[in-house]
Amino acid sequence: MASTAPIGVFDSGLGGISVAREIRRDMPNEHVLYFGDSANAPYGTKSPEQVRELSDVIVKRFVEQGVKAVVIACNTATSAAANELRDRYAIPIIGMEPALKVACDRGHGNRQRVIVAATPLTLRERKFAVLMDRFKADHTIFPEPCPGLVEIVEHGQLDDHDVVMRT
């Protein structure tokens, strides 16, 4: 695997572009391939098996294109598929998870009340339960399933109060 090989980044839509942008900013000499699976979005309303299948197809294509690593810029795909992908492919698979640690650390040792707005699948998966268990003794955590959140973000409607409140 050559060091000039690209890094593959994927998300269930366009939200992961911000992750790809940060990779480019922090590692300007790296080449990044991005895949936004808008045709199958949102992943959060699909079964874990469907998300694993979709993720595997994407990673397989990246591997065929010679990537040296894959970043899953999707909480749902990370929760449902990261472990299987790591077992299947001989390249680093880096996943995303809700920024619970970051939110808890903002209190600098003081108890925080944190709402985790995520897809229903992300919140149902064992990976999130383990993450929440790490912090719930010292913080109050409110998991909030938001099945329409992905669509609101993808359509640039976060500033539309009425749309957000209906979701």
Asked if 101 and 146 touch (Cβ cutoff 8 Å), the reply is: no
Q: Which amino acid is at 24?
A: R
Q: What angle do CA 43, 48, 49 make, to 5 degrees?
A: 110
Could you tell me if 7 and 31 are in contact, meaning their C-beta atoms sit under 8 angstroms apart? yes
Give the global pTM: 0.78
Is the pLDDT assigned to residue 1 strictly greater than 50?
no
Helix, strand or coil for residue 72? Answer: strand
In the prediction, which pLDDT does 119 show? 81
Structural domains in the chain, CATH included, are: 7-95 (3.40.50.1860), 100-166 (no CATH)
Query: What dihedral angle (degrees, nearest 10) is formed by the CA atoms of 151, 152, 157, 161?
Result: 150
pLDDT of 151 higher than 90: no
* pLDDT score of 167: 66
What's the whole-number mean pLDDT along residues 21-35?
Answer: 95
Give the Cα separation of 93 and 78 in Å (integer). Answer: 9
